[in-house]
Structure 1
Amino acid sequence: MAAATCPEPTPAERARSVLAAAGSLTVTTQGHRIELIGLHTVDAAARLLLHNPPDGHLAAELAVAPHGDLAALVEFTDVAAVAVRDRVRSRLTLGGWLSALGPKNLVFHPARAVLTEDDGTTVIGLDELTLASPDPLATHEAEMLGRLDAAHADTVAPLARLLPALEQLGATGVRPLRLDRHGLVLRLETADSHLDVRLPFTAPATHPGEAVRQIHALLARAGARPRRRRLPTTS
C-alpha cells in the first residue's frame, strides 16, 4: 500500500470520487434488488438522484410505503480501468431512504456511508461526505490509466525504476492501478499476490493537463535512475 508519508485523498474524498465516476449502482429495498446503469446523478452536495427506471419497481414500492419514504441500501463498486488481479478497488455502501422528487425522479437520503478497501473498512460521517470534493481527476482517471497502460513500454516500464528494489523482488508484472491529484499508484503483481505502491507528485494536480505534466516529471526522474531488470507490464 501507499507509504504513510505520501499524501493521498481522504476516505471521504475517495468516496466522493467513486460517486462522481460511477456509471452504475445497485439499489436494494425490502422488495427488490435493482441495478441502475446511467440512471443517476450526484449534485454538488453529494445528493444522489435516481431517475425512475422504465420498469418502475422503485416508484411502485415507494407509492405504498407507509411513511412516504422507502428504506434502501445503495452500493457502488469501483473497478480498476486496467485488467489486473483483484480488479475491485473499493466498494461504497450508503444506507438511507428514498423519497419522490417530482414525477420521474427519486432522491436518496443517506444515513450512513461505508467505504471498503483492501486495507479495511471506514465509516464516513455524513458531514464529511457532504463537505468533501471528488478528486479533480476522478472522471478522467479511467481514460488516462488506459492510455498509460496502452503505452506501457514508454510509461509504466520506465516508471518501475522509481520503485524500491526490495519491493520488486518476485514481481512478475507492473500495471497502473490508480491516479489522483496526489500521484500515481502502480500495482506490482507476483505469482500469488500483489503490492500497490504510490509514486507521489511534487504538487497536487488540479486538472488532467497538470497530471500529465507530473507524470512526465516522474518519467524524467526515472530516466535518470540506473537501469535495473525491467519488469514485465503484464502477467
Structure 2
Amino acid sequence: MGDSQVWTAAPAAAEQVRSVLGAAWSCAVTADGGREEFVGAHSVDEDGRVSLHVPEDSALLAAAICAPRGEPSAVLEFADVAPVPVRDRVRARVWLAGWFTAEDGHLTFRATRVVLRRPSGAVVVGVEEYTAARPDPLALAEAHLLTHLADCHGDAVERLTRLVDSDSLHGAVRVQPLAVDRHGLTLRIERARTHGDVRLPFHTPADDVSQLTERMHVLLAQAGTASCPRPLQRQRTDRDR
C-alpha cells in the first residue's frame, strides 16, 4: 500500500455493498407489486450491473419489458448472513432500486439508488461510489475462513478475547467470529439475553488469504502479551435457533 493511501479500520459503505452482492447466493426482486426469490441466479459486473437469469415464465420478464426505460422498475434485496451460527445472523441488508433491460437471454439491472442497512442504521450510497467500488478481496473466502476458525480454532478465538475490553466481556457466555475483511476481525459476544460486537483491526490491510494469516498471527501475538480476561460463564439455557 502506497504512502498516499489512507488506511481505515473498516470497509467503506460502498465496498461493503459490493462485497455483499458478490458473496450473496440469493436475492429477492420486487417489481409491479410482486416479489420473487432467486437462488444462484445473479452475478455482478465490475461496474455494478447485476445480471439475473430467470425462468422464461417469470413475471419479472414481463415487468422488465413493460417498465418505462430509466424509471425505477424494481427493487433488489440482498442479505448478508453470518456463516457461523450466532444470534441475529443477518449482519446487513442491501437494497438496489433501478430498472431492468432484457439482454441476451438474461436481465441486466442498473441501479439508480443504493441503500445499505447495518445494525448502526441505514446509509444511502452514491451510485458513482457504488459503481467505482470493488468487493473486499476476502469476501468470497470469508465463509470458509470463519467456519474454520470457529470449528477448529476455538482456543484462538478465546485467546483473542484478551484484546477485548473487560467491560465488553461482562456477562459473556460465548464468543464467536462474526466477520472478517481486509481491515479486521469482528467478534460476536453473546450474553444470556443480549449480544454485542467488538472489532479487532489489523495493523495493515490484508489483500489475500496469506496476508490475512500473517495479520491473524500478529493479533494472536498481541493477545499473548495481554492480560487474561475473566473466563466465560457457562451457557445453560440459551440456544441458537
- Which amino acid counterpart does residue 79 of structure 2 have in structure 1? T
Percent identity of paired positions between Structure 1 and Structure 2: 44
Match of 1:38 in 2: 40
| Kept after mapping to 1: 8 A contact 2:67/2:73 | no
C-alpha displacement of 1:121: 0.4
Task: Name which of structure 1's ranges 196-205 and 210-219 shifts more when overlaid on structure 2.
Answer: 210-219
- Match in the other structure for 2:119: 118
Residues 96 and 111, structure 1, Cα contact 8 Å, conserved in 2: yes
CA RMSD in angstroms comes to: 2.0
Tell me what 1:12 maps to: 14
Residue 3 (structure 2) aligns with:
none
| Alignment-mate amino acid for residue 50 of structure 2 | L
Aligned length: 229
1:114 counterpart letter in structure 2: V
User: 1:120-141: per-residue Cα shift (whole Å, max 9, x none)?
Assistant: 0000110010111111111111
What displacement does 1:152 show?
3.8
Change (3 A) 1:99 1:197: same
Moved more, 69-78 or 214-223: 69-78
Question: If the length of structure 2 is used for normalisation, what is the TM-score?
Answer: 0.89
Contact 1:152 1:233 in 2 (8 A): no
Residues 1:232 and 1:149: Cα distance change in structure 2 (over 3 Å)? farther
Q: Deviations over 1:21-65 (max 9, x none)?
A: 1111001111531111111110111111111235432223334x1
Change (3 A) 1:233 1:35: farther
The gaps in structure 2 that reach 5 residues or longer are 1-6
Q: Secondary structure at the match of 2:215?
A: helix
- Give the direction of change, closer, same or farther, for the CA distance of 1:177–1:232 in structure 2 (3 Å limit): farther
Residues 1:96 and 2:98 aligned together: yes
Counterpart mapping for 1:187-226 below 5 A: 187-226=188-227
Matched, 1:178 2:179: yes
Instruction: Find out whether 1:148 has 2:149 as its counterpart.
Output: yes
- Which whole-Å CA distance do the structure 2 matches of 1:13 and 1:186 have between them? 20
